[in-house]
Amino acid sequence: MKWDWNAVSDFMPHFWDGLLVTLQILVLGSLVSFALGLVWALLMRVPSRFVTWPVGVVTEFVRNTPLLVQLFFLFYVLPEWNITFSALTTGVVAIGLHYSTYTMQVYRAGIEGVPVGQWEAATALNLPLKRTWTAVILPQAIRRVVPALGNYVISMLKDTPLLMAITVLEMLGEARLFSQQNFQFTEPLTVIGVAFIVISYLASLALRALERRLAH
Amino acid sequence: MPTDTPPNPETSPERSSGELIRFEQVTKRFGENTVLDHLDFSVDAGKHVTLIGPSGSGKTTILRLLMTLLKPDEGTITVDGKKLFPASEKERREARKQIGMVFQQFNLFPNMSVLRNITEAPVTVLGMSKDEAVERAKGLLDMVGLADKCDARPSQLSGGQQQRVAIARALAMRPKVLLLDEVTSALDPELVAGVLDLLRDIARTTDITMLCVTHEMNFARDISDQVLMFDAGRVIETGPPEQIFNEPENDRTREFLSAIL
């Protein structure tokens, strides 16, 4: 096996395309999972079984079925009901939805971790419930959960290649395409492997910086 | 000063003109354990009342019921003629405006500056303008001796300083009643005096009604008009502090005081 630098330079234009798509999936998927996970976590606190039961069943179902199955389902089954999105949009929705069922548990722990004295102080000051959530509880809960959310971002990064299965050309998709056309596997796969490590590392640095900023 | 008639569970207590807080036949149970047992008592406006008694006797439960952090199982609680229990959520919110509370663990909001801890509720609950709220908060911080800590975070303050901010925060809502729940028990000994001196000043210079659960008997003696001795969910003795501390009539009171003094 020889290492061919020409193959690397031939692959680079495709690599940049793939990198851009991977980062899009990661950023948009994270935002979807952060937002949706918070919605699930808050709905689970509504004091009515008519809310918590369906939310609990749906999120339990999504969490316990494989992401790949969900990707195929959204990509191939929804169009039969005349619901069609681009492959990338479908992938972002699927990965965001899947990870929201994990982030909801992170938020739940964060919310439950806010000392009961904070709720009592809010009651003593007669703060309305909505204001108690937005000004007192959530800012403290979210600060607590940033490290755990960050870990799911890195986890999600490692799941982005699954989108290849629904024709999204992210980094692995580009590498595979290049390999099949040029019969050179080592170089493109090595390049994207290194790219995954670099992105993970940068993400963890950013996360640590954010944690420090949020400390009070 | 100490002119209150002792609450008498046998007869319905008469409504004096200045009556601010009233418990009628209030029962509170935690599981099998009855903490308050058909309790009747009232507090007149402007009085400083200290609740003493062994732990588990129901003192803190009374403060927590008044702050609506707990619900009674039976009975009615009124504040300034407004129903706290039984009442709709809306009535309860309205009645609760009269009451402020200072907690053992301070419970400042760690995500807000000291100043915003104090302005948050006046702005969002009382609808005060931001400028006015800030000005008043600064006045209160000045009063509690922390004028230079406006922009600090609670975590940057000592326990005693945090508790003084918590007192300022409670007073910013201009409550008629201030509930003090063992406000010095979590403090290092050298910080206790500063907080107690502040409360003595407030007791002397304002007409706020205070209900105080404390183990600081000297403080209780100083500021109280009336001391209520609790045991097993009932008031077993009541009177001015000189009488309770110097010539207690009840054996349980004597026992309790000799154990802690």
Question: Is the whole-model pTM more than 0.90?
Answer: no
Stated as kind and residue range, the H or E segment containing B166 is helix B159-171
How far apart are alpha carbons A92 and A135 in whole angstroms? 30
Query: A2 lies in a domain?
Result: no
- Contacting B with CB below 8 Å, chain A residues are 115, 117-118, 120-121, 123-128, 131, 135-136, 139-140, 143, 216
pLDDT tens digit sequence for B175-203: 999 999 999 999 998 899 999 999 999 99
Mean per-residue pLDDT of chain A: 94
Query: A1 lies in a domain?
Result: no
Taking only Cα atoms into account, the Rg of chain B, rounded to an integer number of angstroms, comes to 18
Residues in B touching A118 (Cβ below 8 Å)? 107, 109
Residues in A touching B67 (Cβ below 8 Å)? 120, 123-124
Q: Are A117 and B103 within 8 A, CB to CB?
A: yes
Confidence (pLDDT) at B14: 40
Query: A109 lies in a domain?
Result: yes
For residue A155, what is the domain's CATH number? 1.10.3720.10
Question: Strands B99-102 and B209-213, how do they pair?
Answer: unpaired
Q: Are A120 and B124 within 8 A, CB to CB?
A: no
Mutation choice for B interface testing from A126, A129, A133, A140 by most B CBs within 10 A: A126
The average pLDDT across A158-171 equals: 95
Residues in A touching B120 (Cβ below 8 Å)? 125, 127, 135
Cβ of B99 under 8 Å from any chain A Cβ?
yes
In chain B, positions 137-176, which contact chain A (CB-CB < 8 Å)? 153, 155, 169-170, 173
Q: What percent of chain A has pLDDT over 90?
A: 88
How far apart are alpha carbons A92 and B60 in whole angstroms? 52
Confidence (pLDDT) at A216: 61
- As a whole number of angstroms, the longest Cα–Cα distance in chain B is 55
Which residues of chain B have a pLDDT value below 50? Answer: 1-17
Structure tokens at A44: 């689970």
CA A71, distance to chain mean position in Å, is 14
What ipTM goes with this model? 0.89
Cβ-in-10-Å burial (0-12, 13-18, 19+) of B43 comes to: buried
* Residue A186 Rama label (left phi>0; alpha psi -120 to 50; beta): alpha
Cβ of B76 under 8 Å from any chain A Cβ?
no
Query: A108 lies in a domain?
Result: yes
Q: Are B108 and A121 within 8 A, CB to CB?
A: yes
Q: How many domains are there within chain A?
A: 1
pLDDT tens digit sequence for A101-123: 999 999 999 999 999 999 999 99
CA-nearest of B69, B58, B59, B94 to B79 is B94
pLDDT tens digit sequence for A118-164: 999 999 999 999 999 999 999 999 999 999 999 999 999 999 999 99
Query: A94 lies in a domain?
Result: yes
Output the CA–CA distances (angstroms, integers) from residue B140 to A137, B27, B182, in the order listed. 25, 37, 22
- Treating both helix axes as pointing N-terminal to C-terminal, what angle do A5-43 and A49-63 enclose, rounded to 10 degrees? 160
How far apart are alpha carbons A137 and A143 in whole angstroms? 10
Instruction: Judge whether A51 and A58 are in contact, CB under 8 Å.
Output: no
Confidence (pLDDT) at A1: 67
Confidence (pLDDT) at A166: 95
A129 to chain B, minimum CA–CA distance in Å? 11
Cα torsion at B212, B216, B222, B228 (round to 10°)? 50
pLDDT tens digit sequence for A52-95: 999 999 999 999 999 999 999 999 998 899 888 999 999 999 99
The β-bridge partners of B22 are B42, B78
Query: A121 lies in a domain?
Result: yes
Confidence (pLDDT) at B258: 87
How far apart are alpha carbons B165 and A176 in whole angstroms? 63
How far apart are alpha carbons B72 and A153 in whole angstroms? 47
A149 to chain B, minimum CA–CA distance in Å? 19
* Residue A130 Rama label (left phi>0; alpha psi -120 to 50; beta): alpha
A189 to chain B, minimum CA–CA distance in Å? 46
Structure tokens at B191: 């910080």
Cα torsion at B241, B244, B247, B253 (round to 10°)? -160
How far apart are alpha carbons A98 and A92 in whole angstroms? 10
Mutation choice for A interface testing from B94, B97, B101, B107 by most A CBs within 10 A: B107
Strand arrangement of the beta sheet that strand B82-85 belongs to: B33-44, B19-30, B74-79, B82-85
**Which of A121, A123, A127 is nearest residue B124 as measured by Cβ atoms?**
A127
Query: A17 lies in a domain?
Result: yes
Q: Which domain holds residue A25?
A: 8-215
Confidence (pLDDT) at A63: 96
